[in-house]
Structure 1
Amino acid sequence: MSYSNLPLARRAASPSSVSAVPLHFSATCFIGTLVADLAYWLTAELTWANFSDWLLVSGLLLSLIAGVAIAIDLLRGAITMTSAISWLYIAGLGLAFILSVLNALVHSRDGWTSVVPTGLALSAATFIAIVISAICSPRVRSGHRQERL
């Protein structure tokens, strides 16, 4: 009896994503940056600005690791670039990274202007880019599996 016709066998044969973990951790850091920026805006407590800086740098470092992992996923076929949603997913991730780099430059200033208003706006824009990519992610990562079934 051949097991090659079973859908489960085909699903198990498709490569899994190595970029999911670093992407989730970097997204968590960027969302934490938004929360810390909001807390600084509401309280003017400098500790929140410092938390925001650390979360932003951690998110950027994890994003670099995720970028390498995404390149590996593309080479292995775990992510396909055959649809507009795939391109929107990659563009959203790239936009989130670029906005976070700009946000890090803004956060390097001193005092209130390191967060309010530009840093807070960049953190919110990064959050929106992450949400757009998160909405596209299941379609990008499972699209090649549905075609094979």
Structure 2
Amino acid sequence: MTDTTYSPYRCLPGPLHAIVLAGTVPLFLGGLFSDIAYYQTYLIQWTNFASWLIAGGMLFCGLALLFALINLLRAPRKSGRATLYFLVLLVTWGLGWVNCFEHAKDAWAVVPSGLILSVIVTALSAVAAWIGLTNLRSGAPA
């Protein structure tokens, strides 16, 4: 049995938190692949795919951010890793929001800024998932 006094959270993130956190990576990655396909083919439908995938990634990232905020506020002792996890998710969501606006432009205006933002947001979502799924559920001292 683990001692909960060392846990940075009052209650550990549940399965729903893990699902929405892990769901951000493939959605943002799909948006990135769609941007790459548009960059190579200039078929406008790829930007539509990217817009929808990024919107789905934003929904999942927003839910994970909400779970992280609630868990951070309920924590009896603030952990550096928990705060870092929240901040990385916040930056991911913020840049994803900018990426959504970028993809709302005309298809020809999306390249190269939309592609660059997709690379950054995908990398940040992978880092957030790595931090959140390895350290926050271990219950070990941070």
The TM-score with structure 1 as length reference comes to 0.76
Instruction: Give 2:44's aligned residue.
Output: 46
Instruction: Give 1:4's aligned residue.
Output: none
Per the TM alignment, residue 66 of structure 1 is displaced from its structure 2 partner at its CA by 2.1
Larger Rg: 1
Structure 2, gaps ≥5 residues long = 5-9
Q: Give RMSD over aligned pairs.
A: 2.4
Instruction: Give 2:32's aligned residue.
Output: 34
Please identify runs of 4+ aligned residues in structure 1 that moved more than 4 A. none
**Cα deviations across residues 80-136 of structure 1 (Å, max 9, x unaligned)?**
7322x333222211111111100011111112212x100000011112212322332
The TM-score with structure 2 as length reference comes to 0.79
Kindly indicate whether structure 1 or structure 2 has the higher relative contact order, using CA contacts under 8 Å at least 6 residues apart. 2
Name the % identity: 29
- Change in CA separation of 1:132 and 1:72 when aligned onto 2, cut-off 3 Å: same
Instruction: Give 2:118's aligned residue.
Output: 123
Instruction: Give 2:130's aligned residue.
Output: 135
Query: For the Cα contact (< 8 Å) 2:89–2:128, is it kept in 1?
Result: yes
The number of equivalent residue pairs is 133
Per the TM alignment, residue 51 of structure 1 is displaced from its structure 2 partner at its CA by 0.4
- Change in CA separation of 1:87 and 1:16 when aligned onto 2, cut-off 3 Å: closer
